[in-house]
Amino acid sequence: MISLQKFFGKDDKFFDLLEASAEEARHSVQVLTKILSNPGQTPRLEDFHASKEADKKITDQINLAIVTTFVSQLEKDDIEVLSAALYKIPKTVEKIAERFIISAPMVKDIVFTKHIALLDAATQRVVELVKLLRNISAGQLDAAKQINGKLQQIEAEADQLILEILKDLYSGRHDATKVMAMKDLYELLEKVIDRCRDTGNIVTHIVLKNS
Amino acid sequence: MISFQRLLGREDEFFGLLEASAQQACHAVDVLKTVLSRRELMPMMQEFADARSKEKRITEEISERLITTFVTPMEREDIEALAEALYKIPKIVEKFAQRYSIVAGQMQDVDFSKQIVLMERAVNLVLKMVQALRVGRDLGGVKALQIELQTAESEADDVLLEMERAFYQPGFPALKAVILKDLFSLNEKVVDRCRDAGNVVSNVLLKNS
């Protein structure tokens, strides 16, 4: 029997998939923050790779569902853009892990507390925003704008943080090779938060379009 | 009373906003030029931040109007893509200024003038291209401006290569090389962003010609 509800897309699986992707992005960041809390220990790249692959599978499922689903509450283009933005988070996290491993001797004494707090807060906001989409028809614009505002604030703090760090790195007190390696790593950490910010803007735009 | 003009779209408003956005990009490069030509001044960070904030507000306004306007002068996606491309210009200028401000003291002897000339040329070409959208139909004129813009971008690549050549000379201080590589690349990116915005304008006109 053909389910009309299924045919018309009312059992919208996209919400489940997008939420799973956001959770996976958050999970990859949680693995990263554990590593950052203990920089003396060299991370296993496999843990990050698994998280990125899991998110890639979800992204593939979303792309397949876009082609095979007749009607969805969200526009297909929006789903595609959002899913691509979410995937970029664990992808960048994996890149950080790669750099972290090769620069292990230089990072072992570095304190990443501020980054950990910002990464955690940013991915938490991303999950909250993606969850709003499920009830998009109930008018979520104010809630989306409020959470996105917090995300923008986190991103501004991350920008300020990297500037302070670069000021120290460029001061002449550090070895040039260390400056090069650390700058690379810090810029990638900032990029994860930028990716979260991009995702927040996309969700807010979708909510605005549907409000 | 329902205004049909409001319902059917306000072409002038979209063109006006896009032009204002391109003008903000020009203003950001102007401020940068002043800062780099008068090294005794510390970078006026607030001015860069203001230019970017204004541009951001314009981009948000365009985005909101695209949702509330029934008929737009060009496809919505194109307006959105152009607004985004224009916003990236002052954003990257501000990023350069922030990075420069933390090392200004160490960079007094560095000459950025060749890059500034190209940035100025590129943003002014972008402004002309955006203004050409309002007139429409002059695909030949816009194509000529796009070629000029691409020439500027290619020259910016050459200038960057030339400026980076010094880093590879024996004895060049390694830390200074790291800092300058960062700054020179950010400046080159300004011209890249202009080239991207120009490509969007050119594609839009081509689609609508």
> What interface predicted TM-score (ipTM) does this complex get?
0.77
Amino acid B46: pLDDT: 78
Do B67 and A166 lie within an 8 Å CB cutoff?
A: no
Q: CB of B97 within 8 A of CB of B35?
A: yes
pLDDT above 90: residue B43: no
Q: How confident is the model at residue B1 (pLDDT cuts 50, 70, 90)?
A: very low
pLDDT tier at B57, thresholds 50, 70, 90: confident
Q: Provide the residue range defining the domain that includes B177.
A: 4-207
Dihedral, CA of residue B33, residue B35, residue B37 and residue B38, to nearest 10? 160
> What does the pLDDT read at residue B134?
85
For the stretch B8-19, pLDDT in tens is: 456 678 899 999
Share of chain A above pLDDT 90, in %: 56
Q: Cα(A112)–Cα(A35) distance, rounded to whole angstroms?
A: 10
Chain A CB contacts of B106 under 8 Å are: 170, 172
Count interface pairs A-B at CB distance under 8 A: 33
Whether B209 has a pLDDT exceeding 90, the answer reads no
- Model confidence pLDDT, tens digit, residues B149-181: 999 999 999 999 999 999 989 999 999 999 999
Give the CATH number of domain A10-209: 1.20.58.220
**What is the predicted pLDDT for the residue at B93?**
94
Our CA angle for B54, B60, B65, nearest 5°, is 125
Confidence of residue B7 (pLDDT cuts 50, 70, 90): very low
Q: Which of A166, A204, A206 to mutate to test the interface with B (most CBs of B within 10 A)?
A: A166
pLDDT score of A105: 84
List the CATH number of the domain containing B185. Answer: 1.20.58.220
B138 to each of A90, B11, B132, B152, how far by Cα in Å? Answer: 45, 18, 7, 21
Long-range contacts of B152-158 (CB under 8 A, 24+ apart): B152/B118, B152/B121, B152/B122, B152/B125, B152/B191, B152/B194, B152/B195, B153/B122, B153/B191, B153/B192, B153/B194, B153/B195, B155/B118, B156/B115, B156/B118, B156/B119, B156/B122, B156/B188, B156/B191, B156/B192, B157/B188
Cα angle B80, B83, B89 (rounded to 5 degrees) comes to 145
C-alpha to C-alpha distance for A34 and B76, rounded to whole angstroms: 43
Q: What is the spatial distance between Cα B90 and Cα B79, in angstroms, rounded to a whole number?
A: 18
Q: Which chain A residues contact residue B180 at CB under 8 A?
A: none
**In chain A, what are the domain boundaries?**
10-209
Mean pLDDT computed over every residue of chain B: 87
Structurally, chain B folds into a number of domains equal to 1
Give the chain A residue whose CA is nearest to the CA of B172.
A176
